[in-house]
Amino acid sequence: MNRIALAAALVAATSVASAQQGPKPEDEIQYRQSVMTVIGRAMGPMGAMAQGKAPYSAAVAQKNAALIDTLLTLPWNSFGPGTESAAPNKAAPAIWKEPARFKQSAEAAQKAVANLVAVSRSGDEGKFKAAFGEAGKACKSCHDDFRTKEDHR
Amino acid sequence: MNRIALAAALVAATSVASAQQGPKPEDEIQYRQSVMTVIGRAMGPMGAMAQGKAPYSAAVAQKNAALIDTLLTLPWNSFGPGTESAAPNKAAPAIWKEPARFKQSAEAAQKAVANLVAVSRSGDEGKFKAAFGEAGKACKSCHDDFRTKEDHR
């Protein structure tokens, strides 16, 4: 291993170890929570525009919709066995009791966000607001069914 | 506000409030840590390939390099005043003492990752390994200078 590869290995050490052994349940919880935190932040500027509290910007809509679209592909494999309670989290038991319904709900959110991406590219403010509303509704529906109000272990 | 907009507003409530009032320091810390957690996970599969512990896949390289490239644009505005110690975190005092050097170091990492994206698109395994090494080195350099080993408040 040359020095550059060694430097990279040092940076990636934890993740590489995880990739080989399978991530620890607490790391899976931290990962899916992190993805959702970044998504939540990206919702902010779009929510403000949808509510007329910030002027509409097609660039802001496009950037944040695309970011959420990418991030929404990431968390679903991190709800594996043992990740129900390895660290404080809001994942509801229904995720593991009704996996098909959870998958359907997650996919509905991804579909709504894909539509938001397409609509954001059009630059039409009215269509953006409607599509953002639908995306928010899909997010909320999944949260209502599969997220607890408070952290649990 | 119609029902769809209301649903969206409910989902985005926290973020919207933050966008208006400015995010709380502890939320900024959580946000930048979340971004870094998602980046760390994306480093994993590339690190395994760079070290020959996983077979090279151009698709895996492209996907993860692009994800990190996008995420690396996000955390820098979340190192504002008051975010040094509002929650346990590893941000080093040098971030605020030497902001120009921090900016330079962060930009060097972004540049190295932009190169990794370009190289990943070429599909050349050798070039990928070299570019990943350089990116890892740039990440490590910034971490060495601006990240503490343990959480502090």
Closest CA to B42 of A38, A64, A102, A142: A38
Q: Which chain A residues are within 8 Å of B142, Cβ to Cβ?
A: none
For an interface test with A, give the residue of B28, B33, B37, B132 to mutate (most A CBs within 10 A): B37
Q: Which chain B residues are within 8 Å of A8, Cβ to Cβ?
A: 47, 50, 132-133, 135-137, 140
Closest chain A CA to residue B2: A133
Q: In this prediction, what percent of chain A has a pLDDT beyond 90?
A: 85
For position B1, what pLDDT does the model report? Answer: 52
Residues in chain B with pLDDT < 70?
A: 1-20
Strands A147-152 and B89-91: unpaired
Minimum distance, in Å, between the CA of residue B100 and any CA atom of chain A:
23
**ipTM value for the complex:** 0.89
Of the partner residues A14, A19, A47, the one whose CB lies closest to the CB of residue B12 = A47
Per-residue pLDDT, averaged over A50-74, amounts to: 98
For position B9, what pLDDT does the model report? Answer: 53
What pTM, to 2 d.p., does this model score? 0.90
Helix axes of B125-146 and A3-21: crossing angle, nearest 10 degrees: 90
Is 90 exceeded by the pLDDT of residue A7?
A: no
Is 80 exceeded by the pLDDT of residue A71?
A: yes
Q: Number of residue pairs across A and B with CB atoms under 8 Å?
A: 157
Q: Which long-range contacts (CB under 8 A, 24 or more apart) does B59-63 make?
A: B61/B120, B61/B128, B61/B132, B62/B117, B62/B120, B62/B121
Is 80 exceeded by the pLDDT of residue A129?
A: yes
CA dihedral A44, A75, B74, A46 (to 10 degrees): -20
Residue A22's pLDDT band (boundaries 50, 70, 90)?
confident
Q: What one-character DSSP code corresponds to residue A85? A: S
Is B50 within 8 Å of A5 when comparing Cβ atoms? yes
